């Protein structure tokens, strides 16, 4: 039964990828789907990209293990999306670019910053992908009864295949299909758990008795330093989240880009309350003692409380969730390296002109290479899936938050300062991650993203004081002129 349900879902995804590939006419169609999406489509695509396999599998695992504090913080998420709504969405869409490095390269008139940003996008996407591929492998191991390594390989081939074929159009339409599979899978188990274990209040009381401190602000094992830094990291992560930022370029106009975000907040907050906190608490009081790994908690719940047919459907929904973020990550890595690194930083300075289809093929080759690298790195068991994801978002936040917020709200920041901020922030974050993974005491009190952000913020302030302001070029310069000419109080 599991094989039949998953095969049917897989056939749908491949069909959508093939249909999307037939409607492509150039790189704009491949990278930003022709900038044609309205609010409903963009909301569904945003939510599917955020609610990935790691956010479900390891959201349940992390909350079950550490306590309710380990939930992706509600306030931090709302504030992060608010920053994207008020400061980033309109300007990103008006700039007419394809990628986040595209915006930074034009805003600061800097090829070194564009090239560096493209490399950061690719590297952080690989780290994200490691988490998603491991989640997919756990699901396929349970759903199809295949060994973990074979599930990892199958998931990698599936992801790479339909993204390389269809680009962002395939990503968005498969995201919509994945959105409905994912929610159906999550909701199937709800009535059974409520009947067998209890509703919200009963479960919270029971989990607190089973694990004293579980419902407290610090959970069962965190200190205040890590609690606060966890909140800050996720706030910054969501305002620089690559899957969301990239989809702003695919909106029909800047109004659509902004309006999609409040609805995204509402749906994801509902997911966090049920799909992470409630299920994590239930897992802690029912299946926890028999788990080989916390990341298997959701799978154990489904297997224990649903019939085989319903369990197969529920697990297929989580496989859909894993796909819905992984495809976006693959596409971002491909577009950043093909468009920003090869075209903007290598070909154009040398006067080399290529056909648009050549850049699409470079993007596809990059997608395959990134997928293969992520597959290899996902084989060893290095940490909880959600912890791996938090490392990826820490790298992104340290690299892009201050260059983005300073570039969009002020005119005095320099290209040298933006580059120094990004490079310094990433270097410190990566060093802290290495210390955390190796068990160093000095790296345990704060999330690795916090020291990286401190260094990034300090560098952009100090270096800008000694260097001349950057001059915007390309689409960003044109967007700024239009913004300055817009009457105060005009439509946003």
> Residue 486's pLDDT band (boundaries 50, 70, 90)?
low
Residue 282 lies in a domain: yes
Residue 159 has pLDDT above 80, yes or no: no
Residue 347 lies in a domain: yes
> Residue 322's pLDDT band (boundaries 50, 70, 90)?
low
Residue 479 lies in a domain: no
The residue-averaged pLDDT of 408-430 equals 92
The residue-averaged pLDDT of 424-451 equals 85
Q: Which range has the top average pLDDT, 66-75, 237-246, 433-442?
A: 433-442
Reported as a single tens digit per residue, the pLDDT across 247-274 is 777 778 888 888 888 888 888 887 777 8
Torsional sign, CA 484, 485, 487, 491: negative
> Residue 136's pLDDT band (boundaries 50, 70, 90)?
confident
Residue 397 confidence (pLDDT): 85
Residue 491 has pLDDT above 50, yes or no: no
Sequence-separated contacts (24+) of 304-308 with Cβ below 8 Å = 305/189, 305/192, 305/193, 305/196, 306/188, 306/189, 306/192, 308/1, 308/2
Instruction: Say which residue, 472 or 322, is predicted with more confidence.
Output: 472
Instruction: Say which residue, 93 or 33, is predicted with more confidence.
Output: 93
Residue 188 lies in a domain: yes
Residue 164 confidence (pLDDT): 64
Residue 105 lies in a domain: yes
The residue-averaged pLDDT of 449-457 equals 91
> Residue 168's pLDDT band (boundaries 50, 70, 90)?
low
Residue 489 confidence (pLDDT): 47
Residue 195 burial (C-beta neighbours within 10 Å; 0-12, 13-18, 19+): exposed
The residue-averaged pLDDT of 395-420 equals 90
pTM, two decimals, is 0.72
Residue 399 has pLDDT above 80, yes or no: yes
Residue 119 has pLDDT above 80, yes or no: yes
Number of structural domains found in the chain: 1
How many other CB atoms are there within 10 angstroms of residue 223's CB atom?
Answer: 12
Q: Nearest CA to 250 among 367, 338, 328, 164?
A: 328
* End-to-end Cα spacing for the chain: 50
Q: What is the dihedral of CA 189, 268, 58, 307, to 10 degrees?
A: 10
Distance CA 478, CA 126 (A): 33
User: Which residues constitute the domain of residue 258?
Assistant: 2-385
Q: Which range has the top average pLDDT, 107-121, 148-162, 282-296?
A: 107-121
Q: Nearest CA to 176 among 33, 42, 328, 329?
A: 42
The residue-averaged pLDDT of 19-43 equals 67
Phi, psi of 472 (to 5 degrees): -70, 150
Q: What is the domain-level CATH number for residue 369?
A: 1.20.1730.10
Residue 412 has pLDDT above 80, yes or no: yes
Residue 490 confidence (pLDDT): 45
Residue 457 confidence (pLDDT): 94
Residue 336 lies in a domain: yes
Half-sphere exposure for 458 (CA within 13 Å, toward CB): 9
Residue 214 has pLDDT above 80, yes or no: yes
Residue 285 confidence (pLDDT): 92
Residue 415 lies in a domain: no
Residue 416 has pLDDT above 90, yes or no: yes
Residue 125 confidence (pLDDT): 80
Q: Are the beta carbons of 153 and 161 closer than 8 angstroms? A: no
Reported as a single tens digit per residue, the pLDDT across 330-342 is 777 888 888 888 8
Phi, psi of 251 (to 5 degrees): -70, 150
Distance CA 87, CA 103 (A): 14
Q: Are the beta carbons of 139 and 385 closer than 8 angstroms? A: no
Distance CA 180, CA 254 (A): 26
Residue 272 lies in a domain: yes
């Amino acid at each position: 039964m599991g094989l039949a349900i998953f095969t049917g879902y897989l056939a749908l995804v491949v069909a959508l990828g093939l249909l999307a590939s037939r409607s492509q006419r150039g790189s704009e169609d491949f990278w930003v789907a022709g900038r044609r999406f309205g609010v409903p489509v963009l909301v569904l695509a945003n939510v599917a990209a955020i609610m990935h396999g790691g956010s479900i599998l390891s959201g349940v695992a992390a909350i079950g293990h550490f306590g309710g504090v380990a939930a992706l913080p509600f306030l931090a998420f709302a504030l992060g999306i608010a920053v994207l709504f008020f400061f980033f969405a309109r300007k990103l869409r008006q700039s007419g670019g394809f990628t986040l490095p595209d915006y930074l390269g034009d805003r600061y008139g800097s090829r070194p910053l564009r090239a560096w940003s493209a490399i950061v996008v690719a590297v952080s996407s690989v780290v994200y992908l490691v988490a998603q591929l491991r989640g997919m492998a756990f699901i396929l191991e349970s759903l199809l009864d295949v060994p973990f390594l074979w599930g990892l390989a199958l998931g990698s081939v599936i992801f790479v295949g339909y993204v390389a074929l269809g680009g962002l159009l395939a990503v968005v339409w498969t995201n919509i299909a994945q959105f409905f599979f994912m929610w159906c899978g999550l909701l199937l188990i709800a009535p059974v758990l409520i009947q067998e274990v209890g509703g919200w209040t009963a479960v919270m009381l029971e989990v607190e008795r089973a694990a004293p401190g579980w419902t407290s602000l610090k959970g069962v094992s965190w200190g205040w330093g890590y609690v606060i830094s966890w909140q800050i990291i996720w706030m910054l992560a969501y305002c620089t989240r690559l899957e969301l930022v990239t989809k702003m370029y695919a909106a029909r106009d800047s109004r659509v880009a902004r309006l999609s975000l409040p609805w995204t907040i509402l749906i994801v907050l509902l997911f966090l309350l049920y799909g992470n906190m409630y299920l994590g608490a239930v897992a802690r009081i029912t299946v926890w003692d028999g788990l080989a790994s916390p990341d298997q908690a959701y799978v154990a719940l489904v297997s224990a409380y649903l019939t085989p047919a319903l369990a197969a459907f529920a697990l297929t929904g989580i496989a859909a969730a894993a796909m819905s973020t992984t495809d976006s990550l693959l596409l971002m890595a491909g577009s950043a390296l093909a468009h920003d690194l090869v075209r903007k930083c290598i070909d154009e300075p040398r006067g080399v002109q290529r056909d648009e289809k050549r850049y699409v093929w470079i993007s596809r080759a990059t997608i395959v290479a990134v997928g293969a690298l992520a597959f290899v790195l996902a084989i060893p068991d290095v940490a909880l899936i959600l912890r791996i994801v938090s490392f990826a978002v820490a790298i992104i936040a340290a690299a892009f938050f201050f260059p983005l917020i300073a570039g969009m709200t002020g005119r005095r920041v320099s290209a040298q300062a933006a580059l120094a901020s990004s490079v310094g922030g990433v270097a410190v974050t990566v060093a802290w991650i290495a210390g955390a993974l190796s068990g160093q005491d000095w790296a345990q009190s704060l999330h690795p993203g916090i020291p990286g952000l401190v260094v990034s913020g300090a560098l952009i302030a100090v270096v800008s004081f000694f260097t001349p302001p950057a001059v915007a070029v390309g689409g960003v310069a044109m967007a700024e002129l239009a913004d300055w000419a817009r009457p105060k109080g005009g439509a946003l």
